[in-house]
Amino acid sequence: MFEFSSFAAALGVYVIGTASPGPGNLAIANTSLNYGRTPGLALAAGVISGSLCWGAMTAAGVSALLMSNTQIILWLKVFGACYLFFLAWKSVRSALAHNATTVAKVRAKQTRNLGFYLQGLGIHLTNPKAALTWFTVTTVGLSVNAPAWASFVLVAACALLGFLIFCTYALAFSAHSAEPFFTRTRKSFGLICAAFYSMVAIGFLSSLF
């Protein structure tokens, strides 16, 4: 049986989890701030794709099998931690660079949008918490007797909300009207992102012991 109230509650859980600060939206904000709108949207597309992959696997029951394997969880956390440490290093280097705006524009020209897309995809696919978030969403939104199509409708609805949220981050942090403020705070914001990436990575590694 399809229950609209549970479906709406699941969407609320997804919105709160997606809009709150995390590796994905902070990476989008930092990229948009340093490289501009198009790279930010490209990275957002990668994050959305990664989220959609986890959502589709959850709806199909595949991710439940993957997450029940302790070895897969272990290596996923290790890869995720390494990738986050890499992003932290990039954020620190960008924040401490002289003439940060000029450097960012040069790097944006040298880096294809595909690179930003793959970065966003990697952030979400190597984050085991993304899979756990989807488990929570489907648990809240789907009853035991829910029809098979309901899980895919839920994934599609969440994907649309994720698209709106992540693109909003990209557009907000690349907006010309906000550029003076972000220019003043670019260094501190980059360092905050680096600290957050490092904390999450350390959390991944500490959970292994």
pTM value? 0.75
pLDDT tier at 164 (50, 70, 90 boundaries)? Answer: very high
Q: Which domain holds residue 84?
A: 4-206
- Look at residue 76 in the predicted model and tell me its pLDDT: 73
Amino acid at 205: L
> Could you tell me the sign of the dihedral formed by the alpha carbons of 63, 67, 71, 77, in that order?
positive
pLDDT tier at 166 (50, 70, 90 boundaries)? Answer: very high
Distance CA 120, CA 46 (A): 4
Instruction: Give counts: helices (H), strands (E), the chain.
Output: 10, 0
- Look at residue 200 in the predicted model and tell me its pLDDT: 78
Could you tell me what percent of the chain has a pLDDT over 90? 11
- Look at residue 106 in the predicted model and tell me its pLDDT: 46
Of the spans 32-46, 121-135, 172-186, which averages the highest pLDDT? Answer: 32-46
Q: How many domains does the chain have?
A: 1
Q: What is the mean pLDDT of the chain?
A: 78
The residues, ordered by sequence, that sit 6+ positions from 28 with a Cβ below 8 Å of its Cβ are: 40, 43, 44, 47, 120, 166, 169, 170, 173
State yes or no: pLDDT of 163 exceeds 70: yes
State yes or no: pLDDT of 69 exceeds 70: no
- Look at residue 183 in the predicted model and tell me its pLDDT: 65
- What would the pLDDT profile of 99-134 be if each residue is shown by its tens digit? 545 445 545 544 578 889 999 998 888 877 777 778
- Cβ contact 16:25 at 8 Å: no
pLDDT tier at 168 (50, 70, 90 boundaries)? Answer: very high
- Look at residue 62 in the predicted model and tell me its pLDDT: 61
State yes or no: pLDDT of 32 exceeds 60: yes
- Look at residue 134 in the predicted model and tell me its pLDDT: 80
